Copies of this chain bind each other. A is one copy, B any other.
Amino acid sequence: MNKEKVNVAVVGATGLVGRTMLQVLKERNFPCGSVKALASARTAGQFVEFGSEKIIVEELISTSFDGVDIALFSAGSDVSRVFAPIAADAGCIVIDNGSYWRMHEDVPLCVPEVNPESIKSHKNIIANPNCSTIQLVLPLKALDEAFGLKRVVCSTYQSISGAGQKGLDQLDSEVSGEKTNCKHRIAFNTMFHSSYGDSEFTQEERKMFAETRKIMNNKDLRLAFTCVRLPVLGGHGESVNLELKSPFTLDGAKKVLSDFEGIVLVDDLANDIYPTAQLASGKDEVFVGRVRLDDSVENGLYLWISADNLRKGAATNAVQIAELLIDS
């Protein structure tokens, strides 16, 4: 491909993440040649924004990838399952935001600040991790390199935007006092993600276990996850208790975190300064605060992590992978 004029396609261009992908490509001055917006027949013919331009949405068909160098997919597992191999066979490199390919052994699962080397072995499909996993692995990697990681206990505080436009619409309706047919209200309530057969863990929790181990390249990493959906906009939060292998000081841990690429330390409780969903909203970094020594265990540490789930948790990470591809 011509690395100064990369022909890009966004699959699922009318969705929350797809629209954010187009926005982030523009903001980061990705060296786009042509830009194609692809979606199902249902939304083909609509227009989506690419900076000040309006791009017409085309129907996704098997020949859509002719002449496309990089395709960012965010159209659900079924579309990725069927169309990612078609695109890959056409010589296009797929960066897939869905869950279908993430655990495939031939598919790198990449967070550029954490495991950029993973993409070297790609076979034209690279997976973008789950939003909650992405924001977690940056501080995990920073602390693992410095002190060694022994165990991670994480409870998430996830924006309903993770359920896409449908989730936002449910929240809007319920806040306005409308009745919906949903089993659990999201407005002013807490709920969990969908289950997975008979498993006692939700689909979201299972993704976090598998993906964190793959990205951290440690299949024995001791992990515990509880994932919760909230009537929150703009970002996901994570409350994390770590056990590290080596002793460390609080200042030492804070320095390791703030020195790591992609992390911004925001940690001044006395002045009510800490990461929130609102703070993370619209930003590309991972915000870490509430860093405290946890004296209930040897080498224990608390963290609070906030990031914009549609940007760093999805679109921005995908575009960063595309940037890695053209830089390598």
A195 at the A/B interface (Cβ < 8 Å)? yes
Residue of B nearest to A151 (CB): B296
The answer to whether B195 touches A272, judged by C-beta atoms less than 8 angstroms apart, is yes
A232 at the A/B interface (Cβ < 8 Å)? yes
Mark each residue of chain A from 254 to 288: 1 if its CB lies under 8 Å from any CB of chain B, else 0. Answer: 00000000000000011010101110000000000
Offer 6 A-B interface pairs, CB within 8 angstroms, sorted by A.
A157-B157, A157-B190, A175-B175, A194-B272, A195-B269, A222-B296
Give the shortest distance, in Å, between A142 (CB) and chain B (any CB).
19
- CB-CB under 8 A from A233, the residues of chain B are 188-189
Residue of B nearest to A201 (CB): B292
The residue in A151, A190, A194, A272 that gathers the most chain B C-beta atoms within 10 A of its C-beta is: A190
Size band of the interface chain A makes with B: 35 or more
The answer to whether B239 touches A188, judged by C-beta atoms less than 8 angstroms apart, is no
Say how many copies of this protein the assembly contains.
2
- CB-CB under 8 A from A114, the residues of chain B are none
Residues of A within 8 A of B (CB): 151-153, 155, 157, 175, 183-185, 188-192, 194-195, 197-202, 222-224, 226, 228, 230-234, 237, 239, 241, 269-270, 272, 274, 276-278, 290-292, 294, 296-297, 300, 302, 304, 306
The answer to whether B192 touches A237, judged by C-beta atoms less than 8 angstroms apart, is no
The residue in A153, A270, A306 that gathers the most chain B C-beta atoms within 10 A of its C-beta is: A153
- CB-CB under 8 A from A157, the residues of chain B are 157, 190, 228, 230
Q: 12 additional contacts, CB 8 Å, given A226-B241, A231-B231?
A: A151-B297, A153-B241, A157-B157, A175-B175, A190-B232, A190-B306, A191-B276, A195-B269, A200-B290, A226-B290, A228-B237, A230-B230
The answer to whether B304 touches A226, judged by C-beta atoms less than 8 angstroms apart, is yes
The residue in A188, A230, A292, A296 that gathers the most chain B C-beta atoms within 10 A of its C-beta is: A188
- CB-CB under 8 A from A201, the residues of chain B are 292
- Give the complex CA separation of A302 and B269 in angstroms: 28
